[in-house]
Copies of this chain bind each other. A is one copy, B any other.
Amino acid sequence: MTKRGLEISKQIKGKLSQDPTIFQVDIFHKNVKETLKRIFGGYDAIIGIMAAGIMIRSTCKLLSDKKQDPAIIVMDDAGEHVISLISGHLGGANNLTLKIAKLTNARPVITTSTDVHGYMSIDALAKKYYWEIKNLEKIVKFNKAILEGRKVEIKAPRKLKYLCDDPFFKKSYKLIKDGNKVVKAIMDKDELLIKPRKLVAGIGTRKGVSEKKIIEGLKRTLSFLDLPLGRIDALATGEMKKNEEGIIKTSKILRIPLKFVDLNSLRSKDTYSTSDFVKDRFGVGSICEAAALHVAGEGSRLIIRKTTFNGIAIAVAVSREKVLKSVQQNKTKQKEDH
């Protein structure tokens, strides 16, 4: 909108582009209302460097529901405050607000009740660990209980023990180990069914890299999303790494299954990153990205693009969200009802 706003947006773009969890940042400078209408469905987040009123008036008619809408954030064009307006939890606006505030030295303004009181809402928990909540309509009720200081029980199999190390988790939840494979959140007699999506870390290394360095690299990469190693469901690499001891030992030490992906499958994947060396030699843009996407399955997407450190390249993919379908059906139905 203003010149100063444009300058700030360029700064933010520069900084966000270096973040491997962010895949595309575009700047639109003019025709606020028209531009927002056009781009609304195409981005996970929209950051308006303008008055809150302009942003709200321009997106008002475009809003649909919690599950579908992009994160909407506003920053004043003096860069003093950055405000999470829409889709704080499920859409990730709160986390992105914190990230931008950190990058720009602005003050983050978050208003969702659980957050301001230091609790963790059930939708924030789900968003953080890439869980799907099957009964979205119960979220409000669970969050209300959390706000009243009650602890929600999470019944989960042994392998979800990474939750115990989350300091925010402890204030609002109690983990109960359970043989059942289904994860449940329980409050009074109400149940909320949870399906963790599949998270796969794809690994590419130079020859002879040690498991110690790989594990260090994995931790460092996952830290971009504040994810614990224990949340990773599988490791993946290309078949050409079949004899790399470092990778094999990593899988054994971490007790995370390792999949080798054949060259044809790797080549069938569109990767975000491209290394000329790898492209020339194997015909695939990035082995770690392609391997992660293949093992995460049809419709999966990268959540951390290739990040390299000490000769190790790591990317993380997440399987497709399946709840979405039923929500979209509802949405279509609602539109027809009008």
Contacts and interface: CB of A to CB of B under 8 A. Distances in A.
Interface of A: 1-5, 50-53, 56-57, 60-61, 63, 74-78, 80-81, 83-88, 93, 107, 109-113, 116-117, 144, 147-148
A147 to B, nearest CB: 6
Nearest to A79: B116
B116 A83 contact: no
Contacts of A51: 88, 111-113
19 contacts: A1-B113, A2-B113, A2-B144, A2-B147, A5-B113, A51-B113, A52-B85, A52-B88, A53-B86, A56-B56, A56-B85, A60-B61, A74-B111, A75-B111, A76-B110, A76-B116, A78-B116, A80-B116, A83-B109
Contacts of A109: 81, 83, 109
Please report whether the interface of chain A is mostly helix, strand, loop or mixed according to DSSP.
Answer: mixed
A83 B63 contact: no
Nearest to A148: B3
Contact of A86 (B56, B75, B83, B93): B56
A4 B116 CA distance: 11
Given A60-B60, A60-B63, A147-B2, A53 B113 contact: no
B77 A116 contact: yes
Contact of A111 (B83, B87, B117, B147): B83
Contacts of A113: 1-2, 4-5, 50-51, 76-77
A57 B93 CA distance: 15
Contact of A52 (B2, B50, B83): B83
A111 B56 contact: no
B112 A53 contact: yes
A53 B76 CA distance: 18
A148 B5 CA distance: 12
Contacts of A53: 84-88, 93, 111-112
A86 to B, nearest CB: 5
A72 to B, nearest CB: 8
B1 A76 contact: no
A300 to B, nearest CB: 28
